[in-house]
Amino acid sequence: MGTALTDHFGRTATDLRLSLTDRCDLRCTYCMPAEGLPWLPRPELLTDDEIVRLVAIAVTRLGVREVRLTGGEPLIRPGIANIVARLAALNPRPSLSVTTNATALERLAGPLAVAGLDRVNVSLDTLDPQTFKTLTRRDKHARVVAGIEAADRAGLRPVKINSVLMRGVNDHEAPALLRWCLERGYELRFIEQMPLDAQHGWDRAQMVTAQEILERLGAEFHLEPEGEALRGAAPAETWLVNGGPGAPGGGRVGVIGSVTRPFCAACDRTRLTADGQVRTCLFAREESDLRGLLRSGADDETIAQTWRTAMLGKKAAAGIGEPGFVQPDRPMSAIGG
Ligand code: SAM
């Protein structure tokens, strides 16, 4: 293997977030406007062969060990199970997971598990179908719940649930969401809302903070911090709930305090957009074009070297709270969350 994706601050990226599409079938208010976005033209998207080649370069030359498929909504990419099967056949084989809204998971959980998918992270912000409709502008709550159940049945465990809380919309649901997940053996993670919406409507003062989330949960559950040693490069800080997994009514909960408790110093991620651009961070303002290299006939080592050089430019921190912070041009859905 060649040299890894190490940056100037000594961090090494081993976790690849790979966007399969910028399109989505939901319109979550904190992510996308009701009318959607100008989608990437199809010829600009990486083909299946290009995706497999880039991931092969990442695992054989750059030390990537985990691949998380995301988007947009990755399950709306045609042939996703075939992409997973081809990635699972790579040597070394990366661990494979998907971040999804689960609207198509009832149908796809089985085929994805057979293809070699290891786990799923499902985004679900509410237990109330009406609130779901308000938040996502689509009436698909039952399908999402059915999708989560199908993932569990298919063995895509631990099923992780991601929730973003919006003040006055679903923030009161934090304890109910946790209880629902504990009862089913799912691992819940709350994510602080980040300035990555296409509409640029994010308002720090309105954001529900990690501290508030913990206070709400602490009023109903016994929470014990798991500590930094266990966290590693994971963005979530985790707490044992009511004695932890194995205890009656117990489990684990995570909070991803991207804004108020940034975890940049431990970041081990590199990102590839659906049109083949390397990004070093969700909040990066620069990209490096691998698709152009692929399509101009570059060899694997040239592509690997461009990826390494891109990662050298990774900033020490996302800098959300710093003066001069500018939101990236691409919204979350076009980067791959
Ligand atoms: N469509 C897939 C899904 O729903 O999981 C994958 C892409 S989505 C952009 C990934 C995650 O980003 C979801 O959990 C979503 O809730 C979250 N997200 C989107 N916009 C966000 C924002 N502005 N702040 C925090 N999280 C956000």
C-alpha to C-alpha distances, 57 to 65, 183, 322, nearest whole angstrom: 12, 41, 35
- What confidence tens digit (pLDDT) does each residue in 277-302 have? 999 999 999 999 999 999 999 999 99
Protein residue with its CA nearest to atom 11 in ligand 1: 337
pLDDT at 216 over 80: yes
| Ligand 1 near 193 CB (within 6 A) | yes
Ligand 1, residue 202: give the atom nearest the CA: 23
- Burial of residue 55 (number of CB atoms within 10 Å: 0-12, 13-18, 19+): buried
Is the separation of the CB atoms in 197 and 217 below 8 Å? Answer: no
Protein residue with its CA nearest to atom 14 in ligand 1: 123
Distance between CA atoms of residues 292 and 278, nearest Å: 12
- Using DSSP's 3-state secondary structure scheme, residue 13 falls into strand
Protein residue with its CA nearest to atom 12 in ligand 1: 337
> How close is the Cα of 246 to the center of ligand 1, in Å?
30
Q: What's the whole-number mean pLDDT along residues 129-158?
A: 98
Ligand 1, residue 258: give the atom nearest the CA: 25
Q: What's the whole-number mean pLDDT along residues 203-230?
A: 92
**Residue by residue, what is the 3-state secondary structure of 246-261?**
CCCCCEEEEEECCCCC
pLDDT at 196 over 70: yes
**Residue 232: what pLDDT?**
74
> How close is the Cα of 69 to the center of ligand 1, in Å?
13
**Residue 315: what pLDDT?**
94
Distance between CA atoms of residues 67 and 4, nearest Å: 15
**Residue 5: what pLDDT?**
97
| Ligand 1 near 97 CB (within 6 A) | no
**Residue 260: what pLDDT?**
94
Distance between CA atoms of residues 120 and 110, nearest Å: 12
- Using DSSP's 3-state secondary structure scheme, residue 104 falls into coil
* Alpha-helical regions (H) of 201-299: 210-218, 228-231, 290-295
pLDDT at 200 over 60: yes
| Residue count of the chain | 337
Q: What's the whole-number mean pLDDT along residues 44-53?
A: 98
Protein residue with its CA nearest to atom 4 in ligand 1: 101
**Residue 319: what pLDDT?**
87
User: Would you give the end-to-end CA distance of the chain in angstroms?
Assistant: 28
C-alpha to C-alpha distances, 86 to 51, 112, 212, 335, nearest whole angstrom: 10, 12, 43, 23
> How close is the Cα of 296 to the center of ligand 1, in Å?
33
Distance between CA atoms of residues 155 and 196, nearest Å: 32
| Ligand 1 near 69 CB (within 6 A) | no
> How close is the Cα of 202 to the center of ligand 1, in Å?
14
Dihedral angle computed from the Cα positions of residues 181, 103, 142 and 163, in that order, rounded to the nearest 10 degrees: 30
> How close is the Cα of 64 to the center of ligand 1, in Å?
23
Sign of the CA dihedral running 63, 191, 258, 265:
negative
Residues in contact with 296: Cβ distance below 8 Å, sequence separation at least 6, in sequence order: none
Beta-strand pair 66-71/15-21: parallel
**Residue 229: what pLDDT?**
65
Cis peptide before 158 (omega within 30 of 0): yes
- What confidence tens digit (pLDDT) does each residue in 233-250 have? 777 899 999 999 999 999
Average pLDDT, the chain: 95
Burial 252-274 (b: 16+ CB within 10 A, else e): bbbbbbbbeebbbeebbbbbbbb
> How close is the Cα of 197 to the center of ligand 1, in Å?
10
Protein residue with its CA nearest to atom 19 in ligand 1: 31
